């Protein structure tokens, strides 16, 4: 038979028995004989049958009857898509949207595999091509392709973000009850991508999608109720929908529902069930749930007995998966030896990981370790760089630490003016230590003009925040009438607070208050406090006590104590903040 007749014969054969061959292949597939089905589909696919090409691609995608190969799946999907097969176009667009990795135990580039699988075992995402195929299928009326092209347009994958066009495709698919389109349109409306956020309509769309069994939609609907976006806050409805999503395996919903149980929001408080839900989410890779479990076991949350070791394990799991806050917290656990052995090197390692990801708090803490040479070499320049990066993110402790470096001349020349500028910035961001040092600067005239009224303005909030040395300074200002009228009662109050906090110089100041500054001097009480201060190692207390003991009479003693008192503020301490 000539080549022409062979071709005609093949064509006639396809025309006469092709349909029967395809039906046979499908029946074989339905029986579960995937190996035989793949052979039958391959013969038809090789002859150009689009349906067989699509079915063969699905077998390669699932690895049933053939060795799984995303590359071969895409190869056959392209052939079917080129023949206007709508399902193939949709599935091809879907694979190209997300890509597909080869099995972990094979190397796609090895020579043997490249011979067996010329199209490769994996597929890289190609969003531009995904858009093209999804759009072709959508324009032909394929509902799920409408939802997919809506998603690609909304996400800006394969081109510019076009929320308006995305919404049009979502609307068309939503009219046909596409759960993904309902969800996508809801997110556009809730996120304000189409104008003002419309949470009420978004919640309606989420509800429709949730009723179709979409766990993400149920999760989002639960959040709408939890935060009261669409209507008034309703914790019971929030718990209901989060529960639906959690039952369907949504880890974010499991995490959120776990928190509701832990806090008794919309549900009866149940620490065991809450912890179990967080654990379920964590065990499928939810790093936020891991971190929450770390928090729960570290403190107990008033619900469980604290378990530092358990907490450290959860933080470690999240940290190893790249969770920045957990990397920072895990590093800090090594500093305190909480649930892990004390290990400054490990602390520095984990803080570095978080800092490299841009975690401002970690940058600040790592800067402190580097400035002090803890866990590695001392590096003042590196510390300053980290403090500046953290300061740029608004970390007040980092701004404060830059002030300390400038004031002490660490790594550079001492610059009190620059130090006070940094302290002011940190103080305005709420740093109590920065307020204390700024107040001390005004009292001493160091870096700013001496101004006791300003000293009081900045020192008082630091004292109220529990900074013991600020309490001492405020007590001194009040008892000496510096920047204010003398107030011996309030002065005593602040000095006693500082004594209760263990501040030795507060004992000395109380001794001065009783022995000299109060109009109704009490030398016995003065000697008592000066003796305590001297016994605790304060040289000033010892000198003042000596002046009292060697004075010929009480009035002379009072004069000598007065001669020794000064307005210099207490500023001891001063390593970069680790709080």
Q: Say yes or no to pLDDT of 365 above 50.
A: yes
In whole angstroms, how far apart are CA 391 and each of 125, 359, 361? 38, 11, 9
Q: Is the CA virtual torsion 87, 92, 98, 99 positive or negative?
A: positive
Q: Say yes or no to pLDDT of 1 above 70.
A: no
Q: What is the pLDDT averaged over residues 102-116?
A: 53
Q: What is the pLDDT averaged over residues 78-100?
A: 96
Residues 399-456 have pLDDT tens digits of 999 999 999 999 889 999 999 999 999 999 999 999 999 999 999 999 999 999 999 9
How high is the mean pLDDT of the chain? 90
Query: How far apart, in whole angstroms, are the C-alpha atoms of residue 325 and residue 361?
Result: 9
Residues 289-321 have pLDDT tens digits of 999 999 999 999 888 999 999 999 999 999 999
> What's the longest Cα–Cα distance across the chain?
139
Backbone φ and ψ for 123, nearest 5 degrees, come out as -135, 130
Query: How far apart, in whole angstroms, are the C-alpha atoms of residue 48 and residue 298?
Result: 63
Stretch(es) of the chain classified as CATH 1.25.40.10: 365-428
Angle, helices 554-564/523-535, rounded to nearest 10 degrees = 50
Nearest Cα residue to 287 out of 228, 369, 391, 357: 357
Q: What is the pLDDT averaged over residues 8-33?
A: 70
Q: Classify domain 365-428 by CATH architecture.
A: Alpha Horseshoe (1.25)
Residue 407 is predicted with a pLDDT of 96
Bridge partners for 123 per DSSP = 100
**Which segments of 429-503 does DSSP mark as H helices, in order?**
432-444, 452-464, 468-480, 488-500
Least confident stretch, 78-82, 236-240, 564-568: 564-568
Residue 558 is predicted with a pLDDT of 41
Neighbours of 572 (CB within 10 A): 8
Q: Say yes or no to pLDDT of 80 above 70.
A: yes
Residue 495 confidence class, pLDDT cut points 50, 70, 90: very high
Residue 574 is predicted with a pLDDT of 36
Higher-confidence residue: 481 or 119? 481
Residue 106 is predicted with a pLDDT of 54
CB-based contacts of 22, cutoff 8 Å, min separation 6: 44, 49, 51, 52
Residue 19 confidence class, pLDDT cut points 50, 70, 90: confident
Residue 8 is predicted with a pLDDT of 28
3-state secondary structure of 248: coil
- With beta carbons less than 8 A apart as the criterion, state whether 259 and 244 touch: no
Q: What is the pLDDT averaged over residues 472-501?
A: 97
Q: What is the pLDDT averaged over residues 334-347?
A: 98
Residue 412 is predicted with a pLDDT of 84
Q: What is the pLDDT averaged over residues 235-261?
A: 97
- With beta carbons less than 8 A apart as the criterion, state whether 423 and 458 touch: no
The Cα angle at residue 196 between residues 190 and 202, in degrees rounded to 5 = 25
Residue 161 confidence class, pLDDT cut points 50, 70, 90: very high
Share of the chain above pLDDT 70, in %: 89
Query: How far apart, in whole angstroms, are the C-alpha atoms of residue 329 and residue 350?
Result: 9
Nearest Cα residue to 200 out of 183, 219, 186: 186
Residue 4 is predicted with a pLDDT of 29
Residue 123 is predicted with a pLDDT of 86
Q: What is the pLDDT averaged over residues 543-561?
A: 63
Backbone φ and ψ for 127, nearest 5 degrees, come out as -70, -35
């Amino acid at each position: 038979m000539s080549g022409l007749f062979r071709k005609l014969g093949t064509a006639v054969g396809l025309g006469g028995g092709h349909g029967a061959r395809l039906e046979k292949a499908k029946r074989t597939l339905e029986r579960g004989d995937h190996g035989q089905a793949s052979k039958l589909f391959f013969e038809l696919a090789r002859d150009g049958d689009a349906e067989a090409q699509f079915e063969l691609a699905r077998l390669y995608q699932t690895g049933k009857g053939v060795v799984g190969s995303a590359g071969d799946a895409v190869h056959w999907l392209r052939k079917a898509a080129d023949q206007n097969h709508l399902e193939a176009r949709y599935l091809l667009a879907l694979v190209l949207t997300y890509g597909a990795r080869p099995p972990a135990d094979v190397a796609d580039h090895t020579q043997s595999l490249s011979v067996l699988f010329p199209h490769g075992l994996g597929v890289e995402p190609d969003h531009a091509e995904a858009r093209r195929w999804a759009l072709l299928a959508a324009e032909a009326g394929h509902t799920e392709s409408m939802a997919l092209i809506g998603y690609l347009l909304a996400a800006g994958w394969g081109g510019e973000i076009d929320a308006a066009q995305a919404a049009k495709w979502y609307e068309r698919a939503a009219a046909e009850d596409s759960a993904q389109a309902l969800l996508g349109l809801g997110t556009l409306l809730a996120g304000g991508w189409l104008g003002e956020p419309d949470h009420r309509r978004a919640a309606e769309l989420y509800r429709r999608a949730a009723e179709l069994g979409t766990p993400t939609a149920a999760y989002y609907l639960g959040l709408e109720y939890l935060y009261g976006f669409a209507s008034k806050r309703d914790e019971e409805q929030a718990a209901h929908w989060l529960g639906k999503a959690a039952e369907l395996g949504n880890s974010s919903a499991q995490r959120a529902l776990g928190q509701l149980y832990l806090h008794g929001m919309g549900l009866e408080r149940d620490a065991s069930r809450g912890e179990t839900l967080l654990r379920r989410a964590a065990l499928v890779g939810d790093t936020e749930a891991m971190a929450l479990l770390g928090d729960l076991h570290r403190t107990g949350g008033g619900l469980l007995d604290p378990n530092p070791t358990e907490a450290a394990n959860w933080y470690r799991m999240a940290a190893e998966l790249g969770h920045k806050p957990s990397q920072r917290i895990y590093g800090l656990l090594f500093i305190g030896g909480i649930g892990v052995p004390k290990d400054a090197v490990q602390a520095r390692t984990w803080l570095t990981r978080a800092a490299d990801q841009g975690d401002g708090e970690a940058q600040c803490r790592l800067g402190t370790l580097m400035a002090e040479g803890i866990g590695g070499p001392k590096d003042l320049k590196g510390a300053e760089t980290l403090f500046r990066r953290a300061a740029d993110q608004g970390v007040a402790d980092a701004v404060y630490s830059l002030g300390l470096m400038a004031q002490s001349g660490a790594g550079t020349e001492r610059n009190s003016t620059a130090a006070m500028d940094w302290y002011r910035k940190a103080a305005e961001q709420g740093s109590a230590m920065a307020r204390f040092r700024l107040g001390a600067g005004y009292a001493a005239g160091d870096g700013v003009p001496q101004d006791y009224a300003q000293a009081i303005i900045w020192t008082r909030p630091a004292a109220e925040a529990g900074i013991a040395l600020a309490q001492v300074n405020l007590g001194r200002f009040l008892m000496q009438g510096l920047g204010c009228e003398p107030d011996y009662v309030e002065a005593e109050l602040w000095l006693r607070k500082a004594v209760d906090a263990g501040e030795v110089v507060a004992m000395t100041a109380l001794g001065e208050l009783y022995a000299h500054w109060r109009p109704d001097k009490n030398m016995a009480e003065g000697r008592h406090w000066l003796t305590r201060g001297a016994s605790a190692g304060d040289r000033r207390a010892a000198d003042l006590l000596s002046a009292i003991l060697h004075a010929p009479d009480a009035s002379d003693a009072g004069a000598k104590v007065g001669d020794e008192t000064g307005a210099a503020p207490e500023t001891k301490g001063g390593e970069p903040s680790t709080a």
